[in-house]
Chains A and B, each alone.
Chain A
């Protein structure tokens, strides 16, 4: 039960949604784009989110695209995580998505909502960071396409009122060797102690993390250290020098335990990927 009321809008086009956002903002209604809406409902119930207007994007066709277009695999922001899992056109994304929440919740949680949400794990962004995917965002000046690494720094840095429409991933990344491992304190659902996603690209191994810091990240400095010559353990220790500080220390696990799990999981991933000669 929410302690506040809001208006509900369901625009059918990108332009309508964006114009609506700005009109509602001028009226000081604190509008929010609404995709799966799970975070707006759950955090709203706790008074951690407040809005007087939600703009449901699920009727916008561009936000529901899933498939290959002109050399890219296109993922609409309004797609649910189960729809992505079942499609499996981007196996690493399917794997990362399948670790979020639980199966029923993933029938509602969308990829755009996961990436843009307040809850900081945002694990669905990891495959896009690793594959240098592009973000398609719509604002008052039209639609722009940007590399995700230039827009994602702890959070997705969209301009006020911009709508995340799609993510575009080059097809050549869809079938590269990958690993995505989510370690939880216990059980098979819940937030991660650490989640590590990795791919073996042409120039070497790329890694991205969630649960290590209060934001997901991909570190080129860590990747450089991991791809040097030498024993895996030594490379991992060198890479950890570039880990963003501080490491999370919370109810899911202490920072020391997180680092312990991180090192061992990274070891397994590197060993497997380096032996994968696809």
Chain B
């Protein structure tokens, strides 16, 4: 049990221990961007609707505007900066799955979590997960194409002896 108006904490972000001074009311999004300099998670609606701020917490997609930073203590936080050359990042490039790019980190973090959880996701699963993110440039077809290409690769890899 703790009761602190402000506390020094260590967050595990992208496999690094990051010391930070935070208030219990600070959202994880705020701490990532303003205190740790990780600006990949984007502030959009700040209301849990748009998904631009999505990160992974212990492998789960999470809207960082809906989570207090203090809740992420002792958890593994992964932001877009922590993904390096993952298949879904490459697929986004190959399928031109972005236009202005503002929503892209959130989409990629959600897709990354989905592909780790459901590697052979069907169209219904893909649609259900992607409904968590909004792209105002309406580039949904290309994003779905990028995700499907990885699912297809996963399925082909599994068939190989």
Chain A contact residues, CB within 8 Å of chain B:
1-2, 4-12, 16, 20, 36-38, 41-42, 44-45, 53-54, 56, 82, 101-105, 107-108, 187-189
Contact = CB atoms under 8 A, between A and B. Distances in A.
A44 B71 CA distance: 17
Interface string B48-61: 10010010000011
B91 interface: no
Interface string B1-33: 111110000000000000000011101001000
Contact of A104 (B30, B46, B54): B54
A42 B53 CA distance: 14
A42 B68 contact: no
Contact of B131 (A5, A108, A188): A188
Nearest to B7: A8
Taking residues whose C-beta sits less than 8 angstroms from the other chain, chain B's interface range is 20 to 34
B110 A42 contact: no
Contacts of A107: 60-62
Interface in B63-80: 63, 65-68, 70-71
Nearest to A101: B48
Nearest to B61: A104
Nearest to B68: A37
Contacts, number: 88
B24 A42 contact: no
Contact of A42 (B25, B51, B66, B131): B66
Contacts of B128: 103, 188
B93 interface: no
Interface in B105-149: 110, 127-129, 131-133
Given A8-B68, A37-B71, A105 B63 contact: yes
Contacts of B47: 42, 45
A5 B71 contact: no
B48 A9 contact: no
Contacts of A5: 5, 23-25
Given A1-B46, A103-B129, A8 B2 contact: yes
A103 B107 CA distance: 13
A16 B25 CA distance: 22
